A and B are shown apart, each in its own frame.
Chain A
Amino acid sequence: MTSDIFTEDYCDTLCELFNIGMGRAAVSFSEMVNDEVLLTVPSLKAVDFNTAMELFQCISPGNVNAVEQYFEGRFSGNAFLFFNDESSLQLVRSILGEGNWGSELGELEQEALKEVSNIILNACFGCIADVLDCELESSVPDLICGEINDVFDVERMRIGENPLVLTLSMSFSLPNKKITGQVSLIMASDSIKRLITELERFMTLYV
């Protein structure tokens, strides 16, 4: 079920902050691939943990590659950038050039995927931190390849009680290559409340 506390206004505000972050990330990414990166309009949903698991299992029934970064500041949580196998390979080929990449990600390809994700997630954190005027520290990126259950492993993640999942869907593509990525944040309910406080403080400046 969708969240009652994370209302449409908060979704709109956070979505726009992600949109700006993705725009910044696209500049770096376009320099890496030496081509224009096309961005789609993002949408953001706030759902409970079980609903998120069901949603992801429908969207990505097979293997996914997820880069995870823990972020911490006035609010904290786990951020993920997901790519399915095909998008991961397309992305790696765009950065490293065409080659004998096979159908699985080797060490170099994994490093490339982590680096792009690091740029994208940090651009998003950076934008949220700048606009909300708070500091967010992030951990080094970790790549998890497997099924959704492996990615959302509650024992590995440092999530607290009643976690909420904020799921941002946004795709970026290069000419003739469609690469779809999805950003998700998992945050405990007390952290969500602190994020809401920050968003409210910011939004009241413009009401």
Chain B
Amino acid sequence: MAEPKSVLVVDDSRLTRMMIVKMIKTHHSDWPITEATSVSEALECVNSQTFDFISLDHNMPDGTGYEILPQINIAQPAAHIGIFTANIQAVVKQRFEELGATFYGKPISEAMILQFTADGGQS
């Protein structure tokens, strides 16, 4: 049986966190999931634990995904990072992809979460 993967969900919207957690738990009930509601909470998490998957929002009250992603890349070089944002402009997508993350436009769907958790988790 595959070893459980650890997940960090970063989003200021409670609804989005609930949706992502529920969708992951439906398919991987044994995966531990940590939630962060802000950039500062996310930085605390990535500097104190190791994650296999990180879902990251872009627009948050205390900062943006652009600002935090380079720091996450340094702290969690092995993590697969998915950007889940409502800001679906091509230039935003391109910028995140250049920073090495996979881009997913909200609203979140189960297919999107399945793809996210399938990507990069086989190492």
Query: B89 contacts which of A13, A36, A203 (Cβ < 8 Å)?
Result: A36
Judge whether A140 is part of the interface by a CB distance below 8 angstroms. no
Judge whether A135 is part of the interface by a CB distance below 8 angstroms. no
Known: A16-B13, A23-B88, A36-B92. 12 other contacts (CB 8 A): A15-B13, A16-B15, A16-B86, A20-B106, A20-B107, A26-B89, A27-B90, A36-B91, A206-B15, A206-B19, A207-B18, A207-B22
Render A185-203 as a binary contact track against B, CB cut-off 8 A, 1 for contact.
0000000000000000001
Task: List the A side residues contacting B12 at CB < 8 Å.
Answer: 41
- Which residues of A are at the interface with B, using a C-beta cutoff of 8 A? 9, 12-13, 15-16, 19-24, 26-27, 30, 36-37, 39-41, 127, 130-131, 203, 205-207
Q: A19-B86, A23-B85, A41-B60 in contact; A130/B107 too (CB < 8 A)?
A: yes
Q: A9-B14, A16-B13 in contact; A23/B19 too (CB < 8 A)?
A: no
Task: List the A side residues contacting B89 at CB < 8 Å.
Answer: 23, 26-27, 30, 36-37
- Tell whether, in the assembled complex, residue A40 and residue B59 are in contact, meaning their CB atoms are under 8 Å apart: yes
Render B49-85 as a binary contact track against A, CB cut-off 8 A, 1 for contact.
0000000000111000000000000000000000001
Looking at chain A's contact residues, is the secondary structure mostly helix, strand, loop, or mixed? helix
B57 → A minimal CB distance (Å): 9
CA distance A39 to B85 in the complex (A): 11
CA distance A19 to B15 in the complex (A): 12
- Tell whether, in the assembled complex, residue A23 and residue B16 are in contact, meaning their CB atoms are under 8 Å apart: no
CA distance A37 to B60 in the complex (A): 16
CA distance A23 to B90 in the complex (A): 11
Q: A30-B89, A36-B89, A41-B60 in contact; A23/B105 too (CB < 8 A)?
A: yes
Q: A41-B61, A127-B107, A206-B19 in contact; A23/B13 too (CB < 8 A)?
A: no
Q: In this complex, what residue of A is CB-closest to B92?
A: A36
Best-buried of B21, B90, B107 by chain A (most CB within 10 Å): B107
Q: In this complex, what residue of B is CB-closest to A15?
A: B13
